[in-house]
Chain A
Amino acid sequence: MTPHSCFLVSLHLPLPLTAAAVLLAGLAAAPVARSADAAAPAPASTAPASAQRAAASAFNPAIWLILSGGYTQLQRDPASWRLAGFQTGGEIGPGSRGFGLGESELGLSASIDPRFFGSMTVALSDDEGAAVEEAYVQTTALPAGLTLKFGRFLSGLGYQNELHAHAWAFIDAPLAHQAFLGGQRREDGLQLRWLAPTELFTELGVELGRGESHPGAAREKNGAGAWTVFGHLGGDIGASQSWRAGLSLLSARPQGRESSALDAAGNEVTHAFSGRSRTWVVDGVWKWAPEGNAQSRWVSLQGEWFRRQESGTLVADSAGLASAAPYRATQSGAYLQGVWQFMPGWRAGLRGDWLRVGTVDAGANAALLASARHDPSRGSLLLDWVPSEFSRVRLQVAQDRVRAGVNDRQVMLQYQMSLGAHGAHSY
């Protein structure tokens, strides 16, 4: 698994654009013409009354709203929470203390025409105002198991990244996602997936994009700032069990990617990294329900392992000393979680998080970077009450050992309510 021997997509401009042009040409030739037959009215005797009733609003997109908020009790000041030794980004950390309104999520989606489906999700919060979570168009008419998505979308690497936060089992992202993906990674660009015509679920995907989301960074350059390739296998074991496993590789070329850290005196400093970042992700999910009936009881096990290699230049304390030196790091992290629905509407969960600072070679900057050799870890317990498909209240208690020598007991109580269109049961 040497990342340098890796294959596939050059970051230079012409290839992605050529690929996109070929795909769009394929789409134009896709046999949507037959849909004209299907659009012909059904014989009057079978015309559904419901379809006629729905006609007045038939072209309105599906609309949904997720209301979320809660209460957080943190034993330690969250201002001192840093993944020391990791170059981080995005929205990470345990959040703020006390009552709080989380992100409210507003979404719209609908078929655009016989060739395209569109969806947009906006996260609304006081901190960020309105942030575009996702705004993508997806093809529905490409042949041969191909699906092209473009716009802004949740990257398909690993397992949990592609799920919206309200569909996660736990309230917050695993530490590995916080350290290596800034919590959750979005991409502005293209995603092409191919599903093999086999009984075993076999999926390959490739993404090309702006690469602004961590571990990438905003850049002013032509071409793609990041690419991702991923593959997934999955299937059933009898009627009661199902599984999915995958391998992903993300490559980004951030320029001046800023990471907040604390210096030896506890003051906040910013480091800026430019160079190459490669992340491998191995993911696996296994689910069980008696006879496959998830109504009363089920068990779900999920885990992912991350390994990131970065090499380039780090400007330590970029706003102050601005000391530039070569930087190389190989770091890893993983989590494993299990959730058990023990009776209808009630779930309990347990999650373990581990990060390895690994090898960090910061050259002349070694003294300026936090040098405490501490591997962060965390254990979380969850109790989830789901009175209906549309409402959920969960309590999470975590023992957070992210800071060296510090135990932070975190208690989070969160509600999540879903209004409007019926939510999707993603695997």
Chain B
Amino acid sequence: MTKTSRWMGRRVAGLLAGATLALAPWSAAHAELRIVACEPEWAALTTELAGPLAQVYSATTAQQDPHQVQARPSLIAAVRRADLLVCTGAELDAGWLPLLQRQAGNPAIQPGRPGLFEAAAQVELLGVPARLDRADGDVHAAGNPHIQTDPRRIARVAAALARRLAEVDPAHAGDFERRHADFAQRWQTAITRWERSAAPLKGLPIVVQHQGFPYLEQWLGLRQVAALEPKPGLEPSSAHLQSVLATLQRQPARLILRAAYNDGRGSQWLAERTQLPVVVLPYTVGGSEAAKDLFGLFDDTVARLLKAVQP
């Protein structure tokens, strides 16, 4: 596995750096940062901004529901050696990140330290609940945490992350700034391209599996008619699916959206009864063959949506 060899490489590099420290103190400045990203999109963004200056380990994959992860031994061991954690925050990782922080014996990544970066804290969140009550499901007090489906928010996270990288590794502040300027320019160009090609999607009525797409909806002007989960985090029940079916008879939708990691049965059930196409979005980097990096993620997302509504 590549991440294995990356960590291993760091260890050898660390030994070499340590051995040469006495002779050439500046060589320590070339030490790489070790960064653990809680979700694949932040691993990809960190790689864009830090390139060869950091080794990035992703705690989850696109096939895993980030709500459901356990603080398993391999993650504790990775966090133990991390200089920086890049996580979504907004309680998306609330079930496991605090445990990793407490069990890893690593002071650098504790709450309030520069070594903990929360992406959701850098942008305005949608879906902030008007009331906090679990009768409404697994609501997140800070707002909906699935910000990675809006590239404009990713741009804001990138700017903040570049500053944080410079804070954690001041010796390379200039590099991070340069890499960020380059990324920001390419990203802005890509956003313009995606928005142009996604223009026909404006106002498109959709059904979602989980309340996981408000940022995508806001960005592309999609209109959510119904959700398969009766409440966030609750499995679709047959009674609720029936009511979604009734809603769709009054308010027709054009497609059903779900993330690559969602269980497909609920959306399949609805698709069979409504003849609506199910669009499985990669949702994050690695969620599809084409979503190899952040650019590929949105190329593929827009392409899949457009393909589903083609006459």
Chain B residues with CB below 8 A from A145, complex form: 80, 104-106
Q: Is the CB–CB distance between B121 and A197 below 8 Å?
A: no
Interface readout for A318-340 with B: 1 if CB under 8 Å, 0 if not? 00000000000000000000000
> Which residues of A from 171 to 201 have beta carbons under 8 Å from B?
193-201
A114 at interface, CB cutoff 8 A: yes
Contact B105 A195 (CB under 8 A): yes
Once the chains are docked, how many angstroms separate the CA of A423 from the CA of B233?
14
A-B contact pairs, 5 of them (CB 8 A): A50-B90, A293-B65, A293-B68, A387-B234, A426-B99
Contact present for B114 and A30 (CB under 8 Å): no
- Which residue in B124, B125, B261 is a CB contact (below 8 Å) of A293? B261
In the bound complex, do residue B68 and residue A37 qualify as a contact, i.e. CB atoms below 8 Å apart?
A: no
Supplied contacts A234-B72, A291-B61, 16 more A-B pairs, CB within 8 Å: A30-B107, A37-B167, A48-B121, A49-B125, A50-B125, A50-B142, A51-B121, A147-B103, A194-B105, A195-B77, A195-B80, A198-B77, A199-B7, A291-B64, A424-B71, A427-B71
Are A291 and B72 in contact, CB atoms less than 8 angstroms apart?
A: no
- B113, CB-defined interface residue at 8 Å: yes
Given A38-B112, A141-B110, A388-B138, does the pair A48, B120 have CB atoms closer than 8 Å?
yes
**Nearest A-chain residue to B77, judged by Cβ:** A201
Assess whether B141 is interfacial by the CB under 8 Å rule.
Answer: yes
Q: Is A294 a contact partner of B68 (Cβ separation < 8 A)?
A: yes
Contact of B95 with A422 in the complex, beta carbons under 8 Å = yes
Contacts of A423 in B (CB 8 A): 95
Interface membership of A4, Cβ < 8 A: no
Min Cβ gap A177→B in Å is 22
Q: Does B182 contact A (CB under 8 A)?
A: no
Question: What are the interface flags for B117-128 relative to A under an 8 Å C-beta threshold, 1 for contact and 0 otherwise?
Answer: 000111111001
With both chains docked as a complex, state the minimum distance between the C-beta of A42 and any C-beta of chain B, in angstroms: 8
Q: Does chain B have a CB within 8 A of A232?
A: yes
A236/B72 in contact, CB under 8 A: yes
Taking a contact as CB atoms under 8 Å apart, the answer to whether B68 and A295 are in contact is: yes
Q: Which residues of A does B touch, CB under 8 Å?
A: 30-32, 34-35, 37-39, 42, 46, 48-51, 53-54, 111, 114, 117, 138, 140-147, 193-202, 232-236, 239, 242-244, 287, 290-296, 344-345, 387-390, 419, 422-427
B263: CB under 8 A from chain A?
yes
Instruction: Give min CB distance, A400 to chain B, whole Å.
Output: 31
> How many Å lie between the Cα of A290 and that of B264 in the bound state?
14
**Nearest chain A CB to B222 CB, angstrom units:** 24
Inter-subunit contact B128/A235 (CB<8 Å): no
Q: How far is the CA of A195 from the CA of B105 in the complex (A)?
A: 7
B107 to chain A minimum Cβ distance, whole angstroms, is 4
Nearest-neighbour CB distance to chain B for A370, whole angstroms, equals 42
**B63 A425 Cβ-Cβ under 8 A:** no
CB distance from A244 to the nearest CB of B (A): 5
What residues of chain B lie closer than 8 Å to A48, measured between beta carbons? 120-123, 125, 142
Q: Does B73 contact A (CB under 8 A)?
A: yes
In the complex the two chains form, what is the Cα distance from A76 to B104 in whole Å?
A: 47
B296 surroundings in chain A (CB, below 8 A): none
Contact of B107 among A54, A143, A199 (CB under 8 A): A143
Q: How far is the CA of A345 from the CA of B99 in the complex (A)?
A: 23
**B175 interface residue per 8 A CB criterion:** no
Does the CB pair B233–A389 fall under 8 Å?
yes
B residues 119-166 touching A (CB-CB < 8 Å): 120-125, 128, 134, 137-138, 141-143, 156, 159-160
Given known contacts A49-B125, A50-B128, A422 and B94 CB-to-CB distance under 8 angstroms: yes
Question: Which A residues are in CB contact (< 8 Å) with B65?
Answer: 293-295
